[in-house]
Chains A and B, each alone.
Chain A
Amino acid sequence: DTAVSQTPKYLVTQMGNDKSIKCEQNLGHDTMYWYKQDSKKFLKIMFSYNNKELIINETVPNRFSPKSPDKAHLNLHINSLELGDSAVYFCASSQEQGHVGELFFGEGSRLTVL
């Protein structure tokens, strides 16, 4: 039973399209995240939500819009896709207690923009 699951795992699309990546966690955690792993391999935080409330927004273009319908779900919608959006996007969750400690990651969604 997967703890953090995200769909789709692979997504190939044309520039200018709009796409969504879904994420669900069954760990009962309060906090969820989206990370982007770009071509330089750094894992960079994009957003975090705590109990459906936006906590961190790391200067991400407003073409990226996260939505958290409940604390178990955090979806990522991307408008007007650009070539530079090609990356692997990881969803994660944690049970924060002061420090962001152990994150539980999904398997990643590889987005390719042509």
Chain B
Amino acid sequence: DAGVIQSPRHEVTEMGQEVTLRCKPISGHNSLFWYRQTMMRGLELLIYFNNNVPIDDSGMPEDRFSAKMPNASFSTLKIQPSEPRDSAVYFCASSLTRGHDGYTFGSGTRLTVV
């Protein structure tokens, strides 16, 4: 199993540009989570999906952020327009069931907005 796959690993973009982060969860996992990590705020949950349906997006910082999960094997997190304060490492995680299973995290996307 290749684990949770995120792309790109690194992204550098100019302020105002659109950024799209991608995630492929582990096959068969039915929950998917997007987290953001910064030195100041630590790991923050942005949004999570269950069976491709967004369940809780209360952590999404503002309307510039949007996330989709068109099918069970793919999710995107989009920032439009991007701002320097969006610079962070964005992690995607998936899990098999609601309940006791631990999450499996991807390696993250390091986003730098200049």
B partners with A: no
